[in-house]
Protein backbone atom coordinates (compact mmCIF):
# COMPACT_ATOMS: atom_id res chain seq x y z
CA UNK A 1 0.00 0.00 0.00
CA UNK A 2 1.17 3.51 -0.69
CA UNK A 3 -0.19 6.56 1.10
CA UNK A 4 0.27 10.29 0.51
CA UNK A 5 -0.85 12.76 3.16
CA UNK A 6 -0.77 16.51 3.80
CA UNK A 7 -1.38 18.03 7.24
CA UNK A 8 -2.07 21.56 8.42
CA UNK A 9 -1.71 22.77 12.01
CA UNK A 10 -4.24 24.92 13.91
CA UNK A 11 -5.77 26.32 10.71
CA UNK A 12 -5.97 25.36 7.09
CA UNK A 13 -3.58 28.23 6.23
CA UNK A 14 -0.62 26.85 8.27
CA UNK A 15 1.03 23.97 6.37
CA UNK A 16 2.69 21.51 8.76
CA UNK A 17 4.02 18.50 6.83
CA UNK A 18 3.53 16.02 4.03
CA UNK A 19 4.62 12.43 3.77
CA UNK A 20 4.76 9.32 1.64
CA UNK A 21 4.22 6.01 3.38
CA UNK A 22 4.96 2.61 1.83
CA UNK A 23 3.75 -0.45 3.71
CA UNK A 24 3.47 -4.19 3.37
CA UNK A 25 0.77 -6.11 5.23
CA UNK A 26 0.62 -9.80 6.06
CA UNK A 27 -2.70 -11.25 7.19
CA UNK A 28 -2.08 -13.42 10.26
CA UNK A 29 -5.76 -14.27 10.70
CA UNK A 30 -9.01 -12.95 9.26
CA UNK A 31 -9.02 -10.20 11.95
CA UNK A 32 -5.28 -9.65 12.56
CA UNK A 33 -2.65 -8.07 10.32
CA UNK A 34 1.10 -7.59 10.78
CA UNK A 35 2.50 -4.63 8.83
CA UNK A 36 5.85 -2.99 8.24
CA UNK A 37 5.94 0.57 6.96
CA UNK A 38 8.51 3.08 5.79
CA UNK A 39 7.66 6.78 5.74
CA UNK A 40 9.45 9.77 4.26
CA UNK A 41 8.32 13.08 5.79
CA UNK A 42 8.99 16.70 4.87
CA UNK A 43 8.11 19.35 7.47
CA UNK A 44 7.21 22.99 6.90
CA UNK A 45 10.79 24.11 7.69
CA UNK A 46 12.09 21.71 5.00
CA UNK A 47 13.37 19.20 7.58
CA UNK A 48 13.15 15.67 6.28
CA UNK A 49 13.17 12.42 8.14
CA UNK A 50 12.49 8.73 7.66
CA UNK A 51 10.46 6.47 9.89
CA UNK A 52 10.28 2.69 10.15
CA UNK A 53 7.35 1.08 11.93
CA UNK A 54 6.09 -2.36 12.82
CA UNK A 55 2.32 -2.70 13.42
CA UNK A 56 -0.02 -5.30 14.79
CA UNK A 57 -3.58 -4.36 13.75
CA UNK A 58 -6.87 -6.02 14.64
CA UNK A 59 -10.51 -5.32 13.98
CA UNK A 60 -13.64 -6.82 15.45
CA UNK A 61 -17.18 -6.65 14.17
CA UNK A 62 -19.22 -4.90 16.85
CA UNK A 63 -22.58 -4.64 15.07
CA UNK A 64 -24.02 -6.25 11.90
CA UNK A 65 -20.79 -6.02 9.87
CA UNK A 66 -21.00 -2.21 9.72
CA UNK A 67 -19.64 -1.09 13.12
CA UNK A 68 -16.05 -2.16 13.79
CA UNK A 69 -13.74 -1.81 16.78
CA UNK A 70 -10.16 -1.32 15.58
CA UNK A 71 -6.86 -1.40 17.43
CA UNK A 72 -3.24 -0.97 16.44
CA UNK A 73 0.00 -1.41 18.37
CA UNK A 74 3.04 0.20 16.74
CA UNK A 75 6.74 0.35 17.46
CA UNK A 76 8.42 3.09 15.43
CA UNK A 77 11.85 4.64 15.00
CA UNK A 78 12.57 7.93 13.18
CA UNK A 79 15.86 9.19 11.74
CA UNK A 80 16.74 12.72 10.66
CA UNK A 81 18.64 13.75 7.48
CA UNK A 82 22.00 13.14 9.19
CA UNK A 83 20.86 9.57 9.95
CA UNK A 84 20.62 10.15 13.72
CA UNK A 85 17.90 8.36 15.65
CA UNK A 86 15.49 11.12 16.69
CA UNK A 87 12.46 9.33 18.08
CA UNK A 88 11.66 5.86 19.29
CA UNK A 89 7.99 5.37 20.22
CA UNK A 90 5.64 2.69 21.34
CA UNK A 91 2.08 3.62 20.28
CA UNK A 92 -1.35 2.21 21.08
CA UNK A 93 -4.43 3.19 19.06
CA UNK A 94 -8.07 2.12 19.26
CA UNK A 95 -11.26 3.37 17.69
CA UNK A 96 -14.61 2.80 16.03
CA UNK A 97 -15.45 2.84 12.32
CA UNK A 98 -18.90 2.75 10.71
CA UNK A 99 -18.35 1.08 7.33
CA UNK A 100 -20.44 0.82 4.22
CA UNK A 101 -19.50 0.51 0.55
CA UNK A 102 -18.73 4.18 -0.12
CA UNK A 103 -18.18 6.16 3.10
CA UNK A 104 -16.80 5.34 6.54
CA UNK A 105 -16.80 7.83 9.44
CA UNK A 106 -14.33 6.98 12.21
CA UNK A 107 -13.16 8.13 15.60
CA UNK A 108 -10.02 7.00 17.41
CA UNK A 109 -7.71 7.63 20.33
CA UNK A 110 -3.93 7.14 20.37
CA UNK A 111 -1.29 7.21 23.10
CA UNK A 112 2.50 7.53 22.64
CA UNK A 113 5.26 6.34 24.97
CA UNK A 114 8.86 7.51 24.49
CA UNK A 115 10.75 4.21 24.40
CA UNK A 116 14.19 5.89 24.64
CA UNK A 117 13.89 7.99 27.77
CA UNK A 118 11.06 6.83 29.95
CA UNK A 119 8.02 4.68 30.27
CA UNK A 120 5.78 7.74 30.75
CA UNK A 121 3.18 8.67 28.20
CA UNK A 122 4.51 11.35 25.89
CA UNK A 123 1.61 12.32 23.64
CA UNK A 124 -2.13 11.81 23.20
CA UNK A 125 -4.24 12.16 20.03
CA UNK A 126 -7.99 12.14 19.39
CA UNK A 127 -9.08 11.95 15.74
CA UNK A 128 -12.39 12.19 13.93
CA UNK A 129 -12.53 11.60 10.19
CA UNK A 130 -14.15 10.28 7.09
CA UNK A 131 -12.88 7.72 4.57
CA UNK A 132 -14.35 7.81 1.06
CA UNK A 133 -13.90 4.65 -1.02
CA UNK A 134 -13.28 5.54 -4.67
CA UNK A 135 -12.65 1.91 -5.66
CA UNK A 136 -11.65 -1.35 -3.96
CA UNK A 137 -7.98 -0.24 -4.25
CA UNK A 138 -8.20 3.54 -3.80
CA UNK A 139 -9.58 5.64 -0.96
CA UNK A 140 -9.39 9.21 0.35
CA UNK A 141 -9.23 10.17 4.03
CA UNK A 142 -10.14 13.50 5.64
CA UNK A 143 -9.64 14.11 9.37
CA UNK A 144 -9.38 16.56 12.26
CA UNK A 145 -7.07 15.66 15.11
CA UNK A 146 -6.53 17.15 18.57
CA UNK A 147 -3.02 16.42 19.79
CA UNK A 148 -1.39 17.28 23.10
CA UNK A 149 1.90 16.54 24.77
CA UNK A 150 1.85 14.94 28.21
CA UNK A 151 4.18 15.02 31.23
CA UNK A 152 5.69 18.42 30.38
CA UNK A 153 5.67 21.73 32.24
CA UNK A 154 4.19 23.62 29.26
CA UNK A 155 2.73 21.02 26.90
CA UNK A 156 1.86 21.81 23.29
CA UNK A 157 -1.77 21.54 22.20
CA UNK A 158 -2.43 21.36 18.49
CA UNK A 159 -5.35 20.92 16.12
CA UNK A 160 -4.35 19.14 12.91
CA UNK A 161 -6.36 18.98 9.70
CA UNK A 162 -5.35 16.30 7.21
CA UNK A 163 -6.16 14.84 3.84
CA UNK A 164 -4.71 11.64 2.46
CA UNK A 165 -4.94 9.17 -0.37
CA UNK A 166 -4.33 5.42 -0.06
CA UNK A 167 -3.68 3.03 -2.91
CA UNK A 168 -3.55 -0.71 -2.26
CA UNK A 169 -1.58 -2.89 -4.70
| pLDDT beyond 90 at 46 | no
- Residues 6 or more apart from 45 whose CB is under 8 A from it? none
- Position 83 scores a pLDDT of 84
Report the pLDDT value the prediction gives residue 150, as an integer from 0 to 100.
Answer: 87
Q: How far apart are CA 121 and CA 123, in angstroms?
A: 6
Give the domain ranges of the chain: 2-167
Q: pTM score, two decimals?
A: 0.90
Of 124, 130, 89, which is closest to residue 109 (Cα–Cα)?
Answer: 124
2-167 CATH fold: Lipocalin (2.40.128)
Cα–Cα distance between 11 and 54 in angstroms, integer?
Answer: 31
| pLDDT reading at 11 higher than 80 | no
Number of C-beta neighbours around residue 135 at 10 A: 8
Dihedral angle over CA of 10, 140, 132, 26, nearest 10: -120
Q: Give residue-wise pLDDT tens across range 59-73.
A: 999 998 899 999 999
Contact assessment for residue 57 and residue 72, using Cβ atoms and an 8 Å cutoff: yes
Residue 45 — left, alpha, or beta (φ > 0 → left; ψ -120 to 50 → alpha)? Answer: alpha
Amino acid sequence: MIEEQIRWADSISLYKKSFTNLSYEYKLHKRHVLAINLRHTQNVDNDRYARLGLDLKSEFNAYKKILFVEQRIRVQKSWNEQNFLEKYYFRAKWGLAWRNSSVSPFINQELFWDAQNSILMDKQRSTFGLVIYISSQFRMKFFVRKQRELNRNSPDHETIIGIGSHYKF
